[in-house]
Every structure is written in C-alpha cells, then in structure tokens.
Chains A and B, each alone.
Chain A
C-alpha cells in the first residue's frame, strides 16, 4: 500500500512537471513559393526529447504562429499561417482552415482561455475576430490607423479588454475589438505586446527600430526601457510566468536579453547561442530554469539555467517564429 501511494505521489509529481513545447516554423533558408520546399509548420516535443521534434498538421503553408488552449490540454490548437487560421480540436490530428480568402498571411492568433469560441488574429490587413469558434470571422479595425498587426493579447483580468501592436503603436479595445483607441505608445513597428502575469496594468512592447517600452497603467503612459540594451529591434518579449520580475527579450542580432528587475535593466545572455537573430522565446511554466529561444534560420536553442548558457535544441535551419511551452 505504501509503495502504491509512493508511486502515485511520484507519478503525480512527474506528471505535474511535464510540459509540452510547440514551435512554429515559418521557413527554412530554402523556401521558395512553388518549389519542393523542406518541411515547415508546427512541431512539438517534450523537453526531455532534446533535439527531437514531431511535426503536426500542414507542412509548407508559411506558418507564423500557434495558439494552444491550455484548459483543453492542447486538444484545441490554432495555427496562424499564410493560408489563414487553422483549427484543430483533436490535438493536431485533423485541421480545418476556418478563415476565407480575405484573411491571409495571418501573423498571430490567440484563443480566449475562458471561452475558446472567441479568437483574434492579427494580419497585415488588421485584426479579425470570431466568437463562434471560427465559423465566421469579422474584421474589427475600427479606430486603428495602420492596420498591419503583429501581436494581439486579451487582458487576463478582463476579457473585454484587448491590446494589439500595429505599425503605428499599441491600441487598446475595451469592447472585445469593436472599437480601438491608441494607447500612449505611438511608435512604428510594434512587433510584440505582453502583459505581466502579476500586474495586468503592466505591459511591455517590443518594436522594430524603436526598442522596448513599458507601461504600468494599462497603456496611458509608456517609458522606454534602455538600461543595458544595445539594440533597438525586438520581435519577442516574455515574462517568466513564475516570477514577473524576470523577462527575456530577443530580436534582430540581439541574442537573448534578460531582465531580473521587471524590465528596468537588461543583460545579454548569449553563452552558447550561435545565432543572434531571435524571433521567439518561451519559459517553461513548470520549470523557470528551462527557457527556449527560437532563432531565425538557426533552429531552437534551450537553456536549463535561466539563460546563463544555451545549447542547440533542434529544428536546424528553421526560422522559428513562435514558441510556446504549456504545462501539460
């Protein structure tokens, strides 16, 4: 009996620590439309698999992003791709393109974790929303001037509040995207907007050419974060889900920057990175020491010591547009 209980306890602990990594590969260096291109698209692995990845879904559709519905433990997945928004309800075994011809080159997709029928996607043509699981999509750009949208997030404390990063700043909607108002950040080329896991009013934005900006009041006022940063183009910023003082950032020839003081100052953490163009970073929520960095045409790198050192983790030659790590 004791051994049974012990086994169950160990099994539960191991299970609780299990996580799944999703990597969205846009291209390899060899991509040419219409050619016999190498496989790209969505890959997944368990961190214990080291450099081994398993492909899911379509193979050469210019996949930019992935969204995972955590409450369904990854049964509901969405892809943002050149072909539109793909949706799977069986963990990636089968897929359906939910969008039509009007929605193309989808750069990002998000699922409302409370109501998975609600999704947003960001495209060069602006933001689109579905409230019926993808059966119909509506363009919702009312108030947005420069529509090219690289990033959309839903406020985890209030699902009516949505933020998006476009070519002329960060916009905020208080009615699920029906109308938008530009926040205090009006720089060009916003590539990523993220929300602190501890303080919903704290947002961090990464831009193409204008550096990193932080707001602590929901977007009214943004401050440029400069201490320790030698670069200005950032494609990805993430919070450590277990410690909101810790952030990672990556971009054009930046390698990985890390902040341990909530974004006030940064240090480069590139030991072991042989590619410095970084497009995606994810922290394992079950183990904050484990961090993944997706490069542009150099595959994935992994750190097991919070970014102090990195080692190659597979997907050689890939442009890894997005990485997610989910706790299941």
Chain B
C-alpha cells in the first residue's frame, strides 16, 4: 500500500512538473531528480528478470541478491545482439561493485561465449561498439580466447574506439545518418550516456558527454512539448500519428519535463547516470517565445548500390512556434522504409497531434539500395520486422516521386508518380479530433486544432476515407490519463489517385493571424496555380506571408524570383545552433550563453 501511495505521489508530482514551463536551474535540477526517481521507481519492484530491474536494484542498493539472481538467469542464454550488449554492460557497470564475485564472473563469461550480431546500420554499430568499448575497458589485457570474437581486449578497445571516433566525425561533419528519429533517438542517446558515465579514458568520456549534448541540442531546437518536429529518417507507425509515443519523447519527459510521464526502459540507465542537461540546451528547448526557422543538413545512411553517392545529403527545414512546428525533408528516398518526409505537429488534441502526407511507396529497389540481401526477396525480409512496408495504406516511408519546398510556415509538396509503381495514390493524415475540418468551396481544406490552424490545398481531386483503429496503442508509457479518455474511433485519410499531384499547406497560430475566420478568409484569396502533366509538374503560389514560391518537380525551387540552392545548407543554421559542414564544431547560443562542442579537439567550451 505504501508503495502504491508513493508511486501515486510521484506521478502527481511529476505530472505537475510536466507543464513544460521554463524554470530556473535550481528548480530544474530538483524537478529532474523527481522525474529520475519516477522513471526508475517501478524497476526495483518488478520481479520478472530484466536488465533495467537489475541496474535499478544495484543503484538503489536494494535486493542485491535478487539482482544477482536475475543476471544469472538472463545470462543463461543471452539473445538480442547490440540490444543485449547495451543494457547488459550498463547494468554491470552500475552494479559491479555490489554484485557477487560469482555474478561478475558470469557477466564476464557472457562476453566470451555469446557472439552478438554487429548489425547493418548506424544505430546498431553505435550500440555495439559503445558496449564493446566499455567492456574492453572493464576487462583489459585478456587474450582473444577470452572474447566472443577472438580478438584481445586491446584489439576490441581499439576497434571500438576507431568506429566511435569515425561515427562522431561523420555526424559532426556531414550529419547524422539516422537523423532526427523520434523512435531511434534512444539507440544513440543510450550508448553515449554510458560512455559519458563509465568510459575510463578521459577523452572518450568527454566525447560521450559531448555527443549526448549534441543529440539533445539537435532535438531541443526541433521539438514541441516533447514531439520531434519532422521530417525524420525513421519512425514507426504508432508514433507517426501519436507523436508522444516515441522514444525521443520519453527522454524529453525526463530531461525537459515536457510531454507525458513515462517509465520506458530506455530512460532508466540515463536516469541513473550523473549527466545533467546543460542549462543552455534546456533554455533553447523551452524557449518558444519567438517563431524561428531551423535549417539542417543530414545524410542518407550508406547507399550500397543503385546510387552514385555513398551518403547523399538530406536537407531539413523546420519552422517552430510555441503552438506548432512544421518541418520537411527535400523529398526522395532519404532513408529506407520508415522515412517521414514532412509533418505539422501541434499542442492541441493529444494523442493525434499531427497532420502529414505521403506517397506510400515501396520497392525492392529502395531496400536494395541499403541492404545487401537479394533484391527480389528483400521485401519479404523487411516485412518480417516492418510489417507495414508493402501496405498501400501505410503511414511511413519516402518516395522517389515526392519533393517538397518549404518557406517558413508554408509548404508545397509535389508528386510525379510513375505509372505502375507501388501505390498509385497519395495520402494525407487528418486526425479525427480536430475541432474543425472544413472543405471550403475555394478548394482549401481548413482545419482548426486549438490555437493552430492548418490549410491544405489539394492540387487534384481526392476522397475521404475514415480510418479505424482497433484499440489505443499503449506502447511505452504506463501513465497517460489524457490518452485513456480519448475514444478512439479512427482518423481521416485524404486519398488522391492522380499520379501528377501535390498540395500546399499553410499553418498559422492564433497569435500569428488572429481568428480562425480571418485565417479562412486569407486562404480563400491565396490559390495555387499548378501544371500537372507527366514529366511537367509545377506550382506557383504566393504565401499568406506574401512570399512568391515557384516549384518545378523535382528540384527547381525559387523564392521571390531567386533560385533556392539547398546545397548551401549548413550542418546547423538557426537562432540557437550553428555549424558548418565539415567543421566538427557545433556552437550553441542562447542570449548571453554559449557552448561550443569542438569534436576535433574533443573539448566543450563554455
């Protein structure tokens, strides 16, 4: 009973702190401790074995024998590759001075006998090598016969170090490969947290801390109350229309106090570390007093065939206000399977706080660009783990037939879809809980989501389809009172079967444009002019902000008569973050504060 009361009190306490008001450093640190206590609170009571249960028991100095027993049980038959390595070494490092000699020996032996798969993508390699690095530091001077891969401690440490330095270098010169991923944020954050806390080598420890800062700074400039503003490299279907389900949002809750309370396992080990978010990153994450544009350059993960460049550039453009954010990638295939090219996200109406569109494309060619298995059978391979990949109704994925052009809070999306391709239609997602969804005779679809207004002008005829969802998706979060109150009956899908297609999206807040009626009136006098014939798709449009946009598919963009050259995009370019391509240096600025993350020198300078 006492335990239940304690947890309830914690929830009440953390909910009160989840209003995302900017607070001073002292208050922030106190509230952070409360949230950290909350996110770890249930793990030392769970009786089922698990690495987080083990780590928290060691950290809380509670039931050490139970933690030892769990470790022993879990390591009887380890599975999970790098998803095993990270929590295993994390739990070990948290508890190594408290566990029994026998448990220490069992953990050591697991790193001799279980050979994890290294994976085939950046988050896999990042987790694999961070764990291996820490393990090699823990057990130095051992010959290859004592390691699962036959390499000595020193060989493993060196190889892991080389990879990690390489990854940090490319990330800080040409951008992250699995960029801005709400769902894969933890897979990068967690290993960097562990390096930051546990690396013995002072340089690697500093680099780990700097990478956590880097990842958080990137997120801080592009989130809205814990929701990552799209586009993204990777997102899973539940989180694409229920943004607060994502892993990044769980970290946002812990480190920023935004979003909703969560007890996700991903945040447990970070919550046990001594890392505290630098004040300057907290400040930029919470300050939405003025709208701003954030431009970033990322990169496509390794293209291994059907392409001319190993890591083509990704250009991301976001516009963020206190009420909403709209962001876009330039379009095309910029990541396999789970790309989210553009989206609007706003505060109103959890859990469906988003409007977005896509061409739900899939092909062996697309996955063959990134995976080495046989092209003809790759789709079946992919569907084994990403079940919606070849579903024409899916809500994630990029398309070679899609391009975007964004200017502040106006977005144009064009499509010139090859006949016979998978999914000969485009879709738009409109949540069911919008206050208004008006189909105006002018052609605009005009939506109201609290203080955020969204106009969508389809360039071709379309139809509405009602979506149904079997049940609320309760992934990850254990306490989401708002979500439980929502009766989930389905959302709206705008579907258009025209292959030469597109739309214009205008987003404004009440603060920006006044009343919803005024927004409606403004839209009616702004009608795009489009040419939509195969091989010649273009649109001319004057925005509500009086900017003249001309967009010719695929990549000819002009703003107020001047060509837009995306190739000049910096690594980070916004009011808070600045970094040149190739620089290895991120400068974070907020009012009079400054933090420079200099990866070349492995130094953070305030």
Which residues of A does B touch, CB under 8 Å? 26-27, 29-37, 58-62, 64, 82-84, 86, 94-97, 100-101, 104-105, 107, 123-125, 146, 148, 167, 189, 191, 208, 233, 235, 252, 277, 279, 296
A40 to B228 Cα, complex, angstroms? 38
Interface residues on B, range: 35 or more
Which among A26, A59, A96 is the interface contact of B144 at CB below 8 angstroms?
Answer: A96
A124 to B372 Cα, complex, angstroms? 7
- Given the contacts A148-B304, A208-B375, A252-B376, A62 and B117 also touching, CB distance less than 8 Å: yes
Q: Which of B78-86, B197-205, B218-226, B328-336 contacts A (4 or more CB under 8 A)?
A: B78-86
Q: List, in ascending order, chain B residues with CB within 8 A of A124's CB.
A: 302, 304-305, 372
Contact between A101 and B117, CB atoms less than 8 A apart:
no
Q: Which of B102-110, B158-166, B252-260, B487-495 contacts A (4 or more CB under 8 A)?
A: B158-166
Render B61-83 as a binary contact track against A, CB cut-off 8 A, 1 for contact: 00000000000000000011111
Q: List, in ascending order, chain B residues with CB within 8 A of A233's CB.
A: 376
Contact between A94 and B145, CB atoms less than 8 A apart:
yes
Q: Which of B118-126, B235-243, B529-537 contacts A (4 or more CB under 8 A)?
A: B118-126
- Given the contacts A36-B79, A60-B117, A82-B118, A101 and B125 also touching, CB distance less than 8 Å: yes
Which among B163, B304, B374 is the interface contact of A125 at CB below 8 angstroms?
Answer: B304
Contact between A58 and B115, CB atoms less than 8 A apart:
yes
A218 to B489 Cα, complex, angstroms? 67
12 A-B pairs with C-beta separation under 8 A = A29-B384, A31-B381, A31-B384, A37-B79, A60-B117, A62-B120, A96-B149, A124-B372, A148-B372, A167-B306, A189-B375, A252-B374
B300 shortest CB reach to chain A, Å: 14
- Given the contacts A62-B120, A82-B119, A96-B151, A36 and B80 also touching, CB distance less than 8 Å: yes
Which residues of B does A touch, CB under 8 Å? 79-84, 115-120, 124-125, 129, 144-145, 148-151, 159-160, 162-163, 166, 302, 304-306, 372-377, 381, 384-385
Q: List, in ascending order, chain A residues with CB within 8 A of B377's CB.
A: 252, 277, 296
Main secondary structure of the interface of A (DSSP, over half): loop
Q: List, in ascending order, chain A residues with CB within 8 A of B381's CB.
A: 27, 31
Contact between B374 and A82, CB atoms less than 8 A apart:
no
A41 shortest CB reach to chain B, Å: 9
Residue of A nearest to B118 (CB): A83
Contact between B374 and A101, CB atoms less than 8 A apart:
no
Q: List, in ascending order, chain A residues with CB within 8 A of B144's CB.
A: 96
Residue from the set B79, B374, B375 with the largest chain A CB neighbour count within 10 Å: B374
Which among A33, A86, A94 is the interface contact of B120 at CB below 8 angstroms?
Answer: A33
A292 to B109 Cα, complex, angstroms? 38
Contacts A33-B82, A37-B79, A95-B149 aside, 16 further interface pairs with beta carbons under 8 A come to A29-B384, A32-B384, A34-B119, A35-B79, A35-B80, A60-B79, A60-B81, A61-B118, A94-B145, A95-B150, A101-B159, A105-B120, A105-B372, A107-B372, A208-B376, A279-B374
B86 shortest CB reach to chain A, Å: 10
Contact between A148 and B81, CB atoms less than 8 A apart:
no
Q: List, in ascending order, chain A residues with CB within 8 A of B124's CB.
A: 33-34
Residue of B nearest to A277 (CB): B377
Contact between A235 and B374, CB atoms less than 8 A apart:
yes
A89 shortest CB reach to chain B, Å: 11
A59 to B224 Cα, complex, angstroms? 44
A233 to B84 Cα, complex, angstroms? 38
Residue of A nearest to B377 (CB): A296
Contact between A148 and B305, CB atoms less than 8 A apart:
yes
A252 to B381 Cα, complex, angstroms? 14
Contact between B83 and A34, CB atoms less than 8 A apart:
yes
- Given the contacts A36-B80, A107-B372, A148-B304, A30 and B384 also touching, CB distance less than 8 Å: yes
Residue of B nearest to A101 (CB): B163
Q: List, in ascending order, chain A residues with CB within 8 A of B385's CB.
A: 32-33, 35
Residue of B nearest to A150 (CB): B372
Which among A61, A64, A100 is the interface contact of B117 at CB below 8 angstroms?
Answer: A61
Among all A-B residue pairs, the 10 with the closest Cβ atoms: A96-B150, A124-B304, A34-B83, A58-B115, A36-B79, A101-B163, A32-B385, A148-B305, A97-B149, A252-B376
Q: List, in ascending order, chain B residues with CB within 8 A of A36's CB.
A: 79-80
Contact between B118 and A59, CB atoms less than 8 A apart:
no
Contact between B166 and A101, CB atoms less than 8 A apart:
yes
